[in-house]
Structure 1
Amino acid sequence: MSHTPSRQDFDHYMTPNYSPQQVIPVRGEGSRLWDQEGREYIDFAGGIAVNSLGHCHPVLVDALKAQGEKLWHLANVFTNEPALNLAKALVERTFADKAFLCSSGGEANEAALKLARRWAVDHHGEHKDKIISFYQSFHGRTFFTVSVGGQPKYSQGFGPVPGGILHATYNDLESVRALVGDDTCAIMVEPMQGEGGIVPGTQDFLQGLRDLCDEHQALLIFDEVQTGVGRSGELYAYKNYGITPDILTSAKSLGGGFPIGAMLATDAVAKSLAIGTHGSTYGGNALASAVALAAVEFIDTPEVLEGVKKRHDLFREHLETINRKYGVFKEIRGMGLLMGAQMSDAFEGRAKDILPLAIEEGLMALIAGPNVLRMAPSLVIPEADIAEGMARLDRAIGRLVAAE
């Protein structure tokens, strides 16, 4: 007898580290989803900036089907054509000379941090081990990355955190200058903080980090797990600033929904990741690589990237219209199709209360902390879906305001 899973099954069978919404989506097409009851939702969440081309985009489906009939996985004692093609595409489209493929953003950041430490040892000695990151940053859930991330709530309760990690204030160059020194091996930064509230880095701040790294012979790591692969309106956000890092990490939109991550680096740095120093069982998986290559080639076109910038303006216009009506937002910010609306003083901490109301109105959205409503939809979301989704958001916020 077949069993139809229910939301109660989650509480019964799965660890309680998540608290998902009560609806269970079962089918998606483009920027729309349908749940077990057949109810339709417009998706402004994008799997947390993952579903770069929406749900079941034919380009990705075709790539998955074609590769699925050829080769799925090999141990890393072999290489495979899709992995090589993806690495070539990423290198040729970015500053990088080498790519390391893995399975997630957390893995990509773990690799970046280990590489930075290894490079420092190789070139400067054991004393050069300090890593500077930023308060409110987020770099993954491995113990190393969660410790480098600037949100203690994610590392508390798991024992002593790794040493040699310092935190500065985002967009405050002087706070970095007070920490950096000859013992600094790397500065790790998101060009736009995602989980920390959708806060773009300023040009002067990010350029200042580049200059400090050059001055102190340290590496600049850009965490582009959330901003990468078209999300910012460029293939990678560093291109918006004209500032080149030494190491860059990528995931989320890279696979369009298929789990994959990548770390990109210059030749001078990548040499320190010598044979046996690091690895990933599923890194360079043929299925994932084939899908990611299709995503990168489709997204890295003038049509798609210019479309992201146009859709950014549409999202902003709609959010500003809603705000003129209800006065719930203090600031609307972001780049491309990673946008955040910070709640006004009267609705401080209430962003999370919008999500269940939005679900009831047929809209999926996100938060970035308790005070920022976050949106990370498909990069090719139709304008009609933007308009309808915003109409549903208007109704949800209207209900929030009416309940006051």
Structure 2
Amino acid sequence: MDKLSEELLYKYKEKMERIQSFEKKILSPTLYTTLSPYNTDELDNVIRYNYASYQRPLSRNNSLSFVIKSSEHITCIINMIKRAKRFIHIEYYIFSEGYIFNYLIQLFAQKIQEGVAIKLIVDGWGNYKKISKKMIFRLKNLGIQYKVFNPLFKRNGDFWWNFRNHNKLFIVDNEFALFGSCNISDEYFNITDRFFPTSELSLFLEGEIVNSMNLLFTYHWELIRENNKEFDVLLDTNYYFPQAKRKCGNVSIQLINSSPLMENQPIKTNILQLIYSAKKSIKISTPYFYPPQDIVNALKTASKAGIKVQIILPKEADLNDRILRVHREILSNFLDSNIEIYEYFGFNHEKFTLIDENTIYFGTYNWDYRSFYWNFESALVIKNKEAGLVTNKLFEEIMVKSHRLRDDELVLPKRLFPNVYIGIARWCQALS
């Protein structure tokens, strides 16, 4: 890690410690009493580990619905905005100007006039030059509180490559939330043809789990506030953390986040735990796949033990041939391993892992070094048979629109420039 990254990481860690210390004094009595008590009898190792290591509670009284089609994503967001009465918290890797953005801003303006507070976090890398200075000025004039997470270029001219906020959260009134893979940008909704066709997956959630999501947003909001001496959201917990609905459903969900501020890479550790816990099947859909060697070895071990391992990757991606060749290079590790590799005829951007068709690990993470080590990411652990069946059906629908790779397709010709791309990818992994 370079010296500048070390300095920024130290600053973030120091501030996060103060935030969490303050939160435990002020927020915990109003938040954690709404969450179901921890009960080890019904939990698997992943949920138990996340609670013991990171104090991430399991919430039980939740409902969820799958948001799959582009039109469903747009409709869901619009309906959530219209239902807002107190506040809207938005945190996205990409929240880009375009047709959808412009329409949402109109809705935000109406809600602000009704007294709804709106906070928006975008990532400094993912959203670089995605919103013009003129539009930022307009957002602030409307009353939208807008912040950039870890700007790419600092005021002193330093360039910050690492520590990206890759989350996608849309939270309303601490009552319901949209969480998943989809950024707010026209190309992700198939309005432009940049990634066409693109498949996404989000979950519309109600219940106690929204408390955990709202707290995660709060951590990030307070982390990037310029005023280090005072807090914002945490000083008004009655407004931002009203009592969650107790009975919205019966789905048990745990939110786990991962960041360079945390010990032992939670999401990477969870994935290894899930792989080794599988008894029948492991199904993975991800747009980017170049994991560390211990995960590659775990998948090969599972396959050799008779567990069916299937992975779906995109045929087309935002870096197209370069990403394709990196994938093929990594996948060549699976030659003669009986692992089924598929390439979707388009850009499958959803990010989920399904274990034995009943445990879903769903979130913002990719299967790569940046997600596992250096990004701010989040995932949901969902233990629910019905949700597992829906996820399995979705996986099969994507697989039907995919091509299964033969072993000979994983052996690439040695050409200079594509191999340079692979070298750059590995270099980026080393940096991260």
What TM-score results when the alignment is normalised by the length of structure 1? 0.28
Higher RCO (CA 8 Å, separation ≥ 6 residues): 1
What TM-score results when the alignment is normalised by the length of structure 2? 0.26
